[in-house]
């Protein structure tokens, strides 16, 4: 039980590190981030929303992962966001867009698109593992609570 809890804490910590680093890198170099987002093949109307939505959702997910009552929400949101990034990376590799510069910020921007795909898939897998462990933990706690009333 303790082992699983440590694994869950470690998964959460890795995801928190990823999202906090990514969001901080974006805010610390916001002009560059805006420039890179303007390069993307989004409709022009969506870009201002995406510019704020991506780093703010990353901070929100990191905050949700920090606390036990909101951890499941954080893990699910993390899975959704990382899956979206993975789909986007896959579309780049499939040459659906003619030109797509990276907008990941910091050290991560040095990765190639293929490395990005592996990197994203790793964090998708971590989110899934986190959800699985958290679910098992929740079921166990419900079961023990029920038994304690008997």
Partner 1 sequence: MNKIKLVIMTTAIFLSLGSAFVKAATADCVFTQQYYLSGSNYVMTGVFGHDYYCDTGVGACTYILSGGNYVQCRIGSYLPVKLTNEQDQQKK
Rounded CA separation 42/44 (Å): 6
Among 18, 51, 124, 126, binds partner 1 (CB under 8 A): 18
Nearest approach, Cβ of residue 29 and partner 1 (Å): 6
User: Count of alpha carbons within 13 Å of 41, Cβ hemisphere only?
Assistant: 11
Among 42, 113, 132, 143, binds partner 1 (CB under 8 A): 113
Q: From residue 92, give the alpha-carbon distance in Å to each of 8, 34, 58.
A: 32, 19, 22
User: CA 51 to CA 98: how far, in whole Å?
Assistant: 21
Q: Can you tell me which residue has the tokens 């050290």?
A: 107
Q: Please pick, from the candidates 3, 4, 29, 80, the single residue that binds partner 1 as defined by CB under 8 A.
A: 29
Cβ 36 to partner 1, closest distance in Å?
6
- Tokens describing residue 43: 């409709």
The least distance separating partner 1 from the CB of residue 76, rounded to whole angstroms, comes to: 19
Binding mask 36-75 for partner 1 (x = CB under 8 A): x-xx--------------------------x---------
Residues binding partner 1: number (CB under 8 A)? 32
Interior/surface letters 9-42, b for 16+ CB within 10 angstroms, e for the rest: eebbebbbebbbbbbbbbeeeeeebeebbeeeee
Nearer to partner 1, 41 or 135 (CB): 41
Q: Contact residues for partner 1 (CB under 8 A)?
A: 2, 5-6, 9-10, 12-14, 16-18, 20-21, 24-25, 28-29, 32, 35-36, 38-39, 66, 92, 98-101, 106-107, 112-113
């Amino acid at each position: 039980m303790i082992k699983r809890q440590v694994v869950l804490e470690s998964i959460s910590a890795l995801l928190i590190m990823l999202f906090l680093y990514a969001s901080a890198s974006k805010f610390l170099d916001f002009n560059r981030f805006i420039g890179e987002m303007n390069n993307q093949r989004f409709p022009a109307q969506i870009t201002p929303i995406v510019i704020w939505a991506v780093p703010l959702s990353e901070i929100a997910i990191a905050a949700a992962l920090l606390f036990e009552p909101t951890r499941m929400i954080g893990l699910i949101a993390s899975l959704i966001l990382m899956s979206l990034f993975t789909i986007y990376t896959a579309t780049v590799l499939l040459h659906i867009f003619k030109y797509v510069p990276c907008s990941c910020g910091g050290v991560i921007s040095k990765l190639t698109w293929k490395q990005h795909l592996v990197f994203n898939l790793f964090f998708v897998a971590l989110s899934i593992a986190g959800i699985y462990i958290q679910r098992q933990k929740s079921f166990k706690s419900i079961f023990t609570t029920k038994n304690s009333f008997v």
